[in-house]
Amino acid sequence: MIYMLKKRFYILLFFCLLLGGNVNSSTVDKGDNNAPFENKRTETDYLPIADPFVMLYNNKYYAYGTGGTVSEGFACFSSDDLKNWKRERQALSADDSYGKWGFWAPEVYYIQSKKKFYMFYSVEEHICVATSDSPVGPFRQESKQPIWEEKSIDTSLFIDDDGTPYLYFVRFTDGNVIWVAQMTDDLMKIKKETLSECIKAEEPWELLQAKVAEGPSLLKKNGVYYLIYSANHYENKGYGVGYATSDTPMGPWVKYSKNPLLQGDAATGLVGTGHGAPFQCKDGSWKYIFHAHWSAAEIQPRTSYIKDFAISDQGVVTISGAVIKPRVLK
């Protein structure tokens, strides 16, 4: 009798374990369907950078931005048509720069008079500049130190018609505030005595989350200076782009009354659109590259998109047209 009870017990235990195994197996399958989101992301579907910048050089486009690397620093991507991109290499590595973390928002310019490429960027919340003989790098700092000692981010270079260089960047003076200063002729330092405040977050659309104005870019047309910027926190779905104008590169600045120019995209469902830069295309037209949230539900990884950019003869800036979704080819 005892033997039969033991036998029945072990048979029952066996079936319980078997059923338990099936339940666990089902859970694993369901977990695979809800695996960490990164496992579902393939680089061929998107351009994996935020705070993007595009430079046209020798009939080829080069893109740089925050992220898109396996180590600290910045990657470089190239394209012939703005849709299909090739990963070139690590353009700047932490070993060749001041700082070890927080590499953000690079912009690259070819300075004809110096026969070099200059990369302006932020690291550890300090603004820096590095140089290279090639658009793909490697970029290196001759002296591993920031442009100046105060914490700052989001640099953008503008050289006026008379050859005077200006650096637009963000200081933490009242939230994130955009400032400008003239640069030294070697483009390595700012002239502190020329510092001037440009843009701070004050309008309702700029204050949806935090007090942030950032991501400046400067253009000039018909004697008018156009300062394109982004506002409110990048994590907010209403992150957007506006602009202001001035008769001088130092301001004062008047914001466009119908800002924002870009705040999401109804046709594609993009949200969190902003912190980009205008760039000229091969045919002489202009476009604007910007980042957006991964989806309406998830912020990261932010990825880059492109739309048409124009300044009309009446002096009105527009960011419009169909969205170009870049992808990286293997």
Domain limits, the chain: 43-329
Please, how many CA atoms are within 13 Å of residue 286, restricted to the half-sphere of its CB?
A: 14
Q: Which amino acid is at 141?
A: Q
In the prediction, which pLDDT does 301 show?
94
Output helix, strand, coil percentages for the chain, rounded to the nearest 5.
15, 45, 40
**Upstream peptide bond of 48 is cis (omega within 30 degrees of 0):** no
pLDDT at 330 over 80: no
Q: What is the pLDDT of residues 135-183, one digit of tens each?
A: 999 999 999 999 999 999 999 999 999 999 999 999 999 999 999 999 9
Lookup result for tokens 């969205």:
323
Domain 43-329 has CATH 2.115.10.20: yes
Sheet holding 84-93, edge to edge: 50-57, 60-66, 73-79, 84-93, 327-329
Percent of the residues in the chain that have a pLDDT greater than 90, as a whole number: 85
The pLDDT of residue 45: 82
- 220, pLDDT greater than 70: yes
pLDDT of residue 177: 98
- Is the pLDDT at 58 greater than 80, yes or no? yes
pTM of the model: 0.87
**C-alpha distances in Å from residue 326, one per residue of 52, 126, 279, 329:** 12, 30, 15, 10
pLDDT tens digits for 4-52? 333 343 333 333 333 333 333 332 222 222 223 343 455 678 999 999 9
Q: Indicate if the alpha-carbon torsion angle 193, 224, 158, 185 is positive or negative.
A: negative
pLDDT at res. 83: 97
